[in-house]
Amino acid sequence: DTGVSQDPRHKITKRGQNVTFRCDPISEHNRLYWYRQTLGQGPEFLTYFQNEAQLEKSRLLSDRFSAERPKGSFSTLEIQRTEQGDSAMYLCASSLGTSGENRETQYFGPGTRLLVL
> Closest separation between CB of residue 16 and other proteins, Å?
27
Q: How far is the CB of 79 from other proteins (least distance, A)?
A: 19
**Which chain residues interact with other proteins by CB under 8 A?**
4, 6, 31, 33, 35, 40-45, 48, 55-56, 58, 91, 93, 101, 104-111, 113
Distances 3 to 52, 54, 58 between C-alpha atoms, Å = 20, 22, 25
CA distance 88 to 28: 28
Report the nearest approach of other proteins to the CB of residue 47 (Å).
9
